[in-house]
Every structure is written in C-alpha cells, then in structure tokens.
Structure 1
Amino acid sequence: MSTAPSPPPAVTEQQPHRVLVVGSGFGALFATQKLDAPEVQVTMVARTTHHLFQPLLYQVATGILSEGVIAPATRDVLARQTNARVLLGEVREIDLAARTVTADSVGQVNTFTYDSLIVAAGANQSWFGNDHFAEFAPGMKTIDDALELRGRIYGAFEMAEMAAAGGHTDRIPRLMTFVVVGAGPTGVEMAGQLIEMSRRTLAKEFRHIDPSEARIILLDAADEVLGSFGEDLATRTRRDLERLGIEVRLGAMVVDVDADGLVVRTRGGESERIEAATKVWAAGVQANPLTKTLSAQTGAPLDRAGRIRPNPDMTLPGHPEVFVVGDMVGMEDLPGVAQGAIQTGRHAADQILRRLRGQETGQPFEYHDKGSMATISRFRAVMKRGRIELTGVPAWLAWLAVHIFYIIGFKTQVTTLMHWAVSFVGRDRAERTVTEQQVLARLALEYLGEDFLRGSLRTPAEIRAQTEQPEKDA
C-alpha cells in the first residue's frame, strides 16, 4: 500500500533500527512500550522526566492527590524495557532531510539521529492570542500549573481569614470568589471540586470566615456546558452544577484579566467586571510549536489550533519514517483526549514494526471511540459512549474504574484509591501543603528572563572565567 519514497534502513543483526520518540505523554509512552522488540532501539527525549496523567491535574490543584501519584518517573515506567532509554531535553529543532533532532538539556545542546521518528510533543494551554492573561489566570497543563493553582486556591482562603481577623471585611468577597474559564470537562471538574472543597473540606476549619460562602463561577463563551457530550447531558450537567451552588455563565467571553479580577463580554455586547483573586484558565489548547517546523518541511497543513494534518497512516508527506501522534494531530473524529494519543501512538509503533518485518504498511489510522466522561462532584458524573449515556452514581463509578485502569503502576493505583476514599467518603484532603514559592516561582522566572536562566546554568569554570575577566581588563 505504501509507495512513499526513501524508506528507512532495514534492520540488521549488528545495528537495530533506531526510533526516536519526542515526548513522554500518552502517545509517546504507549508507542515506546509497543516497540519493545529486539530489532528496535528506542530513545525517548522529553522536557520532563515524568509521564503526566493530565486528566487528574485538577485533583492535584485541589489537594486530593499528590503530584507523584499522577506523574510517575518515566524511567521507572520503562525500567524493564531494556531496548528503551530516556533522556531529558526540550526539542528545539527537527531536520527531516538530515534525520536529526536537536534538544536543549539543562543548558546542554544535544543532537540525535534516527531511522524512524515519532513526534508526540503534545499541546500547550491557549489563551486565544491573549497570552498576558496567563500572568493572573494560570492554565492547567503541567505539574507546575497545578501546584501554583493549589497555592493560589488555599492561599485565597488564608488571606480571607486574615482580612476578616483584621477587620478588613471589604476584601473578603474578592478573595473568596473563584472563576474557572472554560466549561469543558476540565473546567467542569475543577469547578465541582472547588465547590466540594469549600462546602465540605474547609467548612469547619476557619474561625473568622465561612468557606461555604465562597463564590464559584464557571464561564464559557459557548452556549453549552460540555458541548461535545450532546444536548441532553449538557443540560443535565448545567442543572447539577447550579444545584451545587456554582454560577454558570455561558455566552460570556473573557476580554481582560488582571490581579484583582476579569472582564467578560456577553453576546449582546455588554461588559461586566468580576472581582476575583483566583482565576483558573481551562479553555483552549494550542499544539506544540514543533508542528510549524514539520509543516514547513513537508507541506502538511495546520489548523487554527496549530495541529498538523498527517497522511492517513500518521506519517508526514514525503517522509514515511516520520509519524506525528496525539494532541499534535488535527484529523476529523480524533478528539484531544488520552485515548486519541494512546491509539495514534500504538498505530505509529505498529507501522514501524510491520515495515521492519517486511509486512504491508500504510494502513490508515482508525479511531475507536471509547466514550467521554467527566465528574461533576462527589457521586456525580456524566458519561457518553455512542448511544449510551450515563449520569449520577453509575457514571461516577465508571469514571473511577477507567481512571484507575490508566494510572501507571499497581502501587500508584492503590495510593490513588486510598486518597479518593479519604476525600470522597470522608471530608479530608491529604495534599494541602502550599508554599509561597509554588505561587510565585513561574512569574519570577518569567520576569527574570532568559539571561537569568542561562546564567544559572553556568558551569564552575564559566563562572570563574567570567569573574576573572574584569580583573585582567583592569
């Protein structure tokens, strides 16, 4: 089936086929695991040393789970796969003609060669062209994001308590107002946990404020909550959210954000300012910028979110040795969820193995929809798979089972179940340690800029040379 030019070199006994995998998310990890074969040598290069179970980031942000539970070390996950190695590095450049990938690893630049390449670098948060919103409304795509939000959320209650104790009651409404932007699964789950936390976990812990009076607002420019779930489930979800006490505002576009609040504009053109100390941005994604360089070299088109459209078999035009998978891919009927990344990653790995074993290749990727689900709060969830729709406790139990299944490692699965039992059956949340550094580190690094980052990575020899140079000049 495949007629693309310049196939990768055939495997020999002396030299295994070198596969380079960019990323450590679902697509990269499942592709690497499927490539566990003697004729293949796999190198995974990623900007983090962990595999992140991103769907549960909001539980780290709200104190249910620790970051280690949802982000096991990639080396640990792949420790028994002897044909795979893991290297830290953020890929900056891909040269398809030379078959090289250049990565920056803590100030050290490394170049890797490959016979086959799988690019699974994922997606970043998008503020729809207003990146300055991120200063006051962090996204939720990384462990750093979740820890910063945890500090902001719990810190807001602490600040409100201090304000009340000092008689500054005028500050309390702003501190106890939490706005979640984006009414997709992540936004709904985040808003649900914020209301649960304020009504149950913190209800009896303060002396000068009543946490149950916290105001939780869920905003979206769309007309429905969970629009991709269908009208019936969207209506039920909105009803459940409002019954919990969450203010749901649809058709409301955020046009400005600052430290003290945000401004929204309705479809009718009316503007309203909402005073809120804590804002969570859960709307929109943008594909990793590597799609631009791949598009420039292959002619593969990009969509509005920067996702690249590959050939039907997930390869790039003119380069049968290069595959793109996961959230970087813009194809019809391929949602940006974990299952999409898992299935595209496995398909790419299968195509490589088939080619090496002399089997027919070029089979188009087919996505098998295993359903969509989202939790609303304790014992409330929605699930849709084909014509099957579940709500309430059955959907919540299904959500628990699916997420436990995809968490990596038996020990981690047991730990997660224990944390869920404490949080959902009881009232406590075990992961509530916050520090000022968690809240301020991201902004501090941005303010200090690239010069500081480069300087902090200098070797002792470079520091001595830079110190001695002014003395010689004098």
Structure 2
Amino acid sequence: MSLNTSSDRLRTAAGGIRWLLVPMGSIGTVYHVVQRSVGPMADLLIRLWLAKVFFVSGVLKIFDLSVAPYLSNVAYPVPWVEPLSPTYLGAAIQMVIPVLLALGLATRWAALYMLILVLVVQFNYLAIDINLYSAVLFGWFVICGAGPLSLDHLLARGLGDTALPFATILTRLADAITRYLKPYYQLLIRLWLGLALLAASTGVSIPTGLVQLLPEKSLAHFAPTPAIALVCAVLVAFGFVARPAALVLIMSVIGMHITGSDGPADVYFVMTLALIGLYGPGNLSLDKWILGVLPQINGMQIFPLEGAPRVVIVGAGFGGLACAAKLAKTPLQVTLIDRHNYHLFQPLLYQVATASLSPADIAATVRGLFCDHLNVQVLLGQVTGIDTAQQEVLIGKRRMPYDYLVLATGASHSYFGRDEWEPYAPGLKTIDDAVEIRRQILSAFERAESAEDPSERRGLLTFVIVGGGPTGVELAGDIAELVRHGMEKEFHHFDPASARVVLIQSAPRILPTFPETLSEKAKRSLEQLGVEVMLKSKVEHIDQEGVLINGKRLASHTVLWAAGVVASPAARWLNASADRSGRVKVEPDLSVTGLPNVFVIGDTALVNAWKGKPVPGLAPAAKQGGAYVARAIRRKLQGRPAQPPFAYRHMGSLATIGRKAAVASFNGVNMSGAPAWWLWGVIHVALLVGLRNRISVMFNWFWAYLTFKRGTRLITGDELPLEDGINTTVRTFDQS
C-alpha cells in the first residue's frame, strides 16, 4: 500500500470523524441561544422579585408604626444603636435599595446591602430557608452584577472611561471580582445545593449547626423520587451535565405545584437552580473539563479552515443569511458578500418611507450576526461579474475563488422599459430609496405651506402610488394615515387631511395574488382611509409635473413606483437563460444548468416549485431556498444522496391597510380587519433580526398608535426649493 493511499485514507477517516462531531455543536448552540435569550429576562425577573419583596417590607415598616419599635428591637438587635430612630432610616433605605436593584443601577452595592440585611436576620433573628436562598441570589448579583437588561450594563462602557471620581477604579474592580470570584461562587452554590439535596434524598437530618447554612424545611418534602434527587444532587455538586440536572429539578418543582403537593420554597429554589441552568456550573466543574477535551459540544470551531471547501454567498438578504447561518458550523470556508454592511428587513421598508420607523429599526449589521462564527467571513463589496471557468467572483479588481457559489442578490424595481420615469417616480427597495421618499413626502408639505398658487398646492398635496400589490397598498394606507392623523394643527395655511392619495392599478383588482374577497375588502379599507383607488388604469407617462393615466393628466409632485421588479444581473454574470424579469432559470435543486456547484435563490431565481407554479419573490421563499441550498452543499460534501427537489411551502400572504385593518390568507383560511392586523404585527416583529429591533419597533408602533405621532419625520438633504425662488439650505441630522 502506497504512502499516498494511506494518507488519503487517514484524511477520509478524519473527515468522517469531523462530520460526526459537528452535529454535537448543536448542544452548545442551544445553550448559547437559551443563555442569550432567556438569561437576560430571567436575570431581570429575579431582580424584580427580590426588589418587590423587600420594597413591600420597607413600606410596611414605615406605615405600620405600631410594629416599628418591635422590629427595631427584635429583627435588628444592635445593642449600641438606639432602636427607634434608625428604624425609619433603615426602612427608607430598604425602599430605595430595591428600586435600584429593579432598575439594575448600582446593582452590586444594592445587592450587598440586602445581603448583609438578610444575613443579619438569618443569624440574629429567625433562621428560615427563604433567607438562605435570598442570600445566595444577592451574593450572585454582588459578584456578577446585573445582566444586559439593566442600567449598569447600559452605562458600563461609558463609566469605565470617564472623569468621574473613582469610576474607572470601581469599574475595573467590579470586572476583577466577576472574573476571579465567579467560578468559586458557582462552585459554592453547587455544593450548597448538592449537600441540601443529598440530605433531603437520603432522609438524613441536617446537624443543628448547619441549619442556618443549608436549607432544610424547604427540601424536606422535595423528592420526585429519592433516586432522582440523589442523582441530581451528585450531578449538581460535581458540575457534571449540571444544566440538564438543574432543568430536571426545576421541572420537578413545577410538577409538584401542578399536582398540588407540598414543595420547598418553590420560587426561590427555582431561581437558584436557574443560575446553574442558564449560566452553567462554572469553570470549576467536570462540564468545563469535558468542554476543554471536546470543544465541539460547546459549539466551538473544531475544524481547520485551511484546505476546507470554499462557499461564496453573494447577497445578505433573507436567502443569503439563511444559507450562511445553516453553514456557520460546517467545516467550510464561508464568505458572505454584500454591497451594504447591514441586513434589511424589506417588508417594513415602506414604514421608513412614511416616517413611522427609523432605518435602524429594520436593519442589523451583518458582521454582528456572525461574529461568533469563525468560519464565516463577511466582505463589503460590489460584485461586478463571475468567472465560471476559473470559479471566481469578481469584486472590482479583486477575485474571490469558490468551490460552491450561492447567488442571493435579490431584485430591483422595474419600469417595464420606461427607465426615464425613474427620476420622477422612485421605487422602494433600499434604505436610500426609503429615506428619499420620506424626504419627498415631508418636503411636499413644507413647500405647500409656502405655496400661494392653489393649483400648485394641489399638485404638492397629491400623492400617487403606481402599483396595487402589497407594497403599493401598504404604502398608500400609511401615507393616508400620515396625512389624516399625523400632522394635525402643524400647518396654518392648509389642512394636511385635504391631501389626495391615489393608488393606480392596471389590473381589475388590487392584491391580485390574494383571494378576490380579500382584495375587495382591502379596497374598501383603503377608501375608508380616503385613498382613491383607480383600477384598470394604465400609466402612459410620468414627469416632474405628474402622471398621464388613460389619457388624462393628474398633477402630482410626488409619484411613487410599486408596480414591478427586475432581478439582479446574475443571469448576465453566469451567461444563463432568464425570463423577462431577469430571473435565472434554475434546476429543481436550485442549481444553474451546466453549473452544478452554482446555486441561485430568492428573487433572482425562477423555479416552478410551488405546486407547479413559479416561487413568489417573498422572504419565506428566499429563506427556504437558502436553507435548502445549505443542506444540498452539506450532502455533496458528505457524499450522501441528493435531497428531493426544492418545494416551496407557502406560509400565507399578509398586507396591512392603515392602523387597524389588514388582510391575510393562509392555505384557504382568510382573515381581515383587526384580527388580521394583529397577526400581521406579531409575525413581522417576530421575523425582525435582533432583540433591539423588535423592542424598538414595538415601542414606536405603540407610541404612534396611541398618540398619532411619528418620531422620524426628518427631512434629510441639502436643499429644499421653496416657491419664492429662494433655495434655503436645510441641514438636518437624521438621528434615527
């Protein structure tokens, strides 16, 4: 047997082991996802619970004057302090400190005060299990501080680099305490719980001297079975599969609550176990040692990048992100290229154009999404071509080699051969488009305020939307809401509600992809908002003065295009066949004919995978295509049989009209009105990328819904032409 043959076999065996170990990273992925999503919320809930209990205690001490002296003498027996006067001071402090704890402001100091208070009560007044659990939880906040949902976390970076006295020293001290003491404190919690569970499971009574240090009464009746309690005690104490053991204990407590059995101090016990379940057993544990030996369990990269197959994904839209995410922990070199450094949630782009949302609310940086994945490289660049012979992507003068190529380059608006209309009727596909449309809409009102000619003012206050698909309908409805409710009493020479909003549709009905009944309901909803819906109307010409519709002139200074799209130049790059919209005709597995290692997904691809019909250009379709291609690449590399042809699963169609109406269709189930509007809002918030974006969008919607005010009505740009012929330079800063 030759040396080369042996080397090939070794590489094959190593590759097989590598592919076998990679799925184990899903365990670590679950841990990280839970810790990042549930952890901050659990941290906040624990702080709120502890703050509530001690705040109420402080209120009772202040307002129940009859027991205040008694509490001073019994609860806090400090011989050298006169009992009555410090009572009120202590009660007041006990009301302020919980507020700080709940806000997460000066959390360590607030928790330290409460820790001392609890220990004084435990050792000098009444030893009860709740005090022990409270002490453990307060000790956690003293050492680790508050989580991300706190003012401390928000201010930490600024305070660490400020001129405030002692701020830098205290910040560094807090970091050092967490870094050096957290592992030992996690070990202390595990041993504390383990010993208490061991005593409860074996029926051994805790010695009198340890009653004040280990919970006894709360665990006396705790035993899903003695064997399970004993096993969990050992696992927690040694930190071996500690997270699952903590979960079993938590579920046992919940089960006893459901069955009505007597349990321990349930809430405090669960909160203490949550520290182990969410943050792990710490560095001084068997789990940590095992992760050092098998880092793949923790989701860490366990494969060398050198020599790994190269996958290049062009486009950071829904399809590109879905594909990259599925390949993020696969032994591949993944390069994600986009001309923007952010991922844009296009379904809500129209709300940026109508000043409902800020661009930052619907965009997230691509690098931030993949910062934890070492095998994913993000490049900012404009792709200009593809050399399929050399298998290289052209980025200006740079060439990026690939073994597999995924094109998810999306689409742009199409004027059906009348590109000269574009300067007068901008489309809506990018943030720049949305900001420009917002500028035009808001500028029209400003110019109308100074216009003296009534006909000129009517032209400025006439807004025309060409195209009755979901984008056109939503855009028309939101503009109608803006002019009817968002600008009341702000202009003195005209009523903003007098503005005209005209929706032009060449087809017999709007929303042609929806059932006819929903199209009719959407039309009625738009008309109730004051939108003029013109059906079977053909746009013949557009210029700076307005539009020509069916031979009739409609004066308008703001014409918006939502009538059609054209795919990216991917077909030209690949020299592949395409349809009239420029979409690449792909094989059933989304690969390009004659190029089995090149895939096209999303709006750029034409494939009849929706019950024999072309897949629509929707976000779910792009995400499903990206996930399908990722699986196809993995199967090719693993030498497994090809998966079945791509089949699009239609999740439904949604469109909103104004502030309280929408239409929705899901596999034959039709909805309209307020229920569809709520469903539309929930789904769109859930699909946003990033917790910050979800919270921001919900807050902005809630504020605008109750007040009718929109917080991003900023006109950006250098010059605003006024009717007196003077160009007043307007330099505003878009802080959104």
Task: Give me the TM-score of the superposition, normalised by structure 2.
Answer: 0.55
The amino acid of 2:324's aligned partner reads: T
Equivalent residue for 1:162, pick from 438, 446, 450:
450
Deviation at 1:169, TM superposition (A): 2.7
Deviations, residues 216-242 of structure 1 (Å, cap 9, x unaligned): 000011111101001111111111111
- Corresponding residue for residue 307 of structure 1: 583
- Corresponding residue for residue 47 of structure 1: 339
The amino acid of 1:291's aligned partner reads: A
Equivalent residue for 1:218, pick from 503, 520, 524:
503
Q: How does 1:270-309 map to 2 (within 5 A)?
A: 271-294=551-574, 296=575, 300-309=576-585
Q: Secondary structure at the match of 1:217?
A: strand
- Corresponding residue for residue 637 of structure 2: 356
Equivalent residue for 1:176, pick from 449, 461, 464:
461
- Corresponding residue for residue 98 of structure 1: 390
2:358 equivalent to 1:69: no
Cα separation, 2, equivalents of 1:179 and 1:438:
23
Cα separation, 2, equivalents of 1:373 and 1:435:
31
Q: Secondary structure at the match of 1:352?
A: helix
- Corresponding residue for residue 268 of structure 1: none
Deviations, residues 369-405 of structure 1 (Å, cap 9, x unaligned): 1001000110100000111100011101110111111
- Corresponding residue for residue 541 of structure 2: 256
Deviation at 1:426, TM superposition (A): 2.1
- Corresponding residue for residue 468 of structure 1: none
Deviation at 1:206, TM superposition (A): 1.0
- Corresponding residue for residue 410 of structure 2: 122
The answer to whether the 8 A contact 1:27-1:345 is kept is yes
Aligned residue pairs total 416
Equivalent residue for 2:488, pick from 196, 199, 203:
203
Cα separation, 1, equivalents of 2:719 and 2:369:
27
Equivalent residue for 1:345, pick from 612, 623, 626:
626
Deviation at 1:318, TM superposition (A): 2.1
Percent of aligned positions that are identical: 40
Deviation at 1:358, TM superposition (A): 2.3
The answer to whether the 8 A contact 2:408-2:603 is kept is yes
Q: Which runs of 4+ in 1 moved over 3 A?
A: 10-14, 437-440
Equivalent residue for 2:714, pick from 399, 413, 433:
433
2:665 equivalent to 1:389: no
Equivalent residue for 1:186, pick from 471, 476, 479:
471
- Corresponding residue for residue 373 of structure 1: 654
Cα separation, 1, equivalents of 2:668 and 2:652:
10
Deviation at 1:80, TM superposition (A): 1.8
2:607 equivalent to 1:331: yes
- Corresponding residue for residue 314 of structure 2: 22
Deviation at 1:99, TM superposition (A): 0.3
Deviation at 1:362, TM superposition (A): 4.6
Cα separation, 2, equivalents of 1:180 and 1:208:
25
Deviation at 1:439, TM superposition (A): 8.6
Q: Secondary structure at the match of 2:641?
A: coil
Deviation at 1:53, TM superposition (A): 0.6
Q: Secondary structure at the match of 1:51?
A: strand
Cα separation, 2, equivalents of 1:405 and 1:325:
23
The answer to whether the 8 A contact 1:252-1:264 is kept is yes
The amino acid of 1:272's aligned partner reads: K
Deviation at 1:292, TM superposition (A): 2.4
The amino acid of 1:341's aligned partner reads: A
The answer to whether the 8 A contact 1:152-1:439 is kept is no
Cα separation, 2, equivalents of 1:373 and 1:209:
35
The answer to whether the 8 A contact 1:287-1:327 is kept is yes
Deviations, residues 114-169 of structure 1 (Å, cap 9, x unaligned): 11110101101101101111101000001110000000000000100111xxx333
The answer to whether the 8 A contact 1:115-1:321 is kept is yes
Q: Secondary structure at the match of 1:27?
A: helix
- Corresponding residue for residue 596 of structure 2: 320
The answer to whether the 8 A contact 1:151-1:439 is kept is no
Distance 1:354 1:289, change over 3 A: same
Greater Rg over alpha carbons, structure: 2
Q: Secondary structure at the match of 1:135?
A: coil
Structure having greater relative contact order (Cα 8 Å, sep ≥ 6): 1
Q: Secondary structure at the match of 1:129?
A: coil
The amino acid of 1:28's aligned partner reads: G
Q: Secondary structure at the match of 2:596?
A: strand
Deviation at 1:303, TM superposition (A): 1.2
Deviation at 1:38, TM superposition (A): 4.0
- Corresponding residue for residue 112 of structure 1: 400
Runs of at least 5 residues in structure 2 that lack an aligned partner in the other structure = 1-11, 16-303, 722-736
The answer to whether the 8 A contact 2:341-2:366 is kept is yes
Q: How does 1:413-428 map to 2 (within 5 A)?
A: 413-428=694-709
- Corresponding residue for residue 73 of structure 2: none
- Corresponding residue for residue 374 of structure 2: 82
Q: Secondary structure at the match of 1:424?
A: helix
The answer to whether the 8 A contact 1:92-1:103 is kept is yes
Q: Secondary structure at the match of 1:320?
A: strand
Cα separation, 2, equivalents of 1:190 and 1:430:
18
The amino acid of 2:448's aligned partner reads: A
- Corresponding residue for residue 425 of structure 2: 137
The amino acid of 1:217's aligned partner reads: V
The answer to whether the 8 A contact 2:317-2:344 is kept is yes
Q: Secondary structure at the match of 1:197?
A: helix
The answer to whether the 8 A contact 2:486-2:710 is kept is yes
The answer to whether the 8 A contact 1:375-1:381 is kept is yes
Cα separation, 1, equivalents of 2:330 and 2:720:
46
Deviation at 1:423, TM superposition (A): 1.6
Cα separation, 2, equivalents of 1:336 and 1:293:
21
Cα separation, 2, equivalents of 1:404 and 1:137:
29
The answer to whether the 8 A contact 1:238-1:248 is kept is yes
Equivalent residue for 1:398, pick from 651, 656, 679:
679
The answer to whether the 8 A contact 1:16-1:38 is kept is no
Task: Give me the TM-score of the superposition, normalised by structure 1.
Answer: 0.85
Cα separation, 2, equivalents of 1:20 and 1:263:
45
- Corresponding residue for residue 450 of structure 1: none
Distance 1:146 1:175, change over 3 A: same
The amino acid of 2:631's aligned partner reads: D
The answer to whether the 8 A contact 2:590-2:607 is kept is no
The answer to whether the 8 A contact 1:147-1:438 is kept is no
The amino acid of 1:238's aligned partner reads: K
2:321 equivalent to 1:36: no
The answer to whether the 8 A contact 1:151-1:438 is kept is no
The answer to whether the 8 A contact 2:463-2:502 is kept is yes
The amino acid of 1:219's aligned partner reads: I
Cα separation, 2, equivalents of 1:345 and 1:397:
28
The amino acid of 2:584's aligned partner reads: I
Cα separation, 1, equivalents of 2:425 and 2:419:
10
The answer to whether the 8 A contact 2:443-2:720 is kept is no
Answer 1 or 2: which has greater strand percent: 1
The amino acid of 2:555's aligned partner reads: E
Cα separation, 1, equivalents of 2:560 and 2:695:
29
Cα separation, 2, equivalents of 1:371 and 1:348:
22
Q: Secondary structure at the match of 1:226?
A: coil
The amino acid of 2:702's aligned partner reads: A
Deviation at 1:78, TM superposition (A): 1.6
Cα separation, 1, equivalents of 2:321 and 2:659:
31
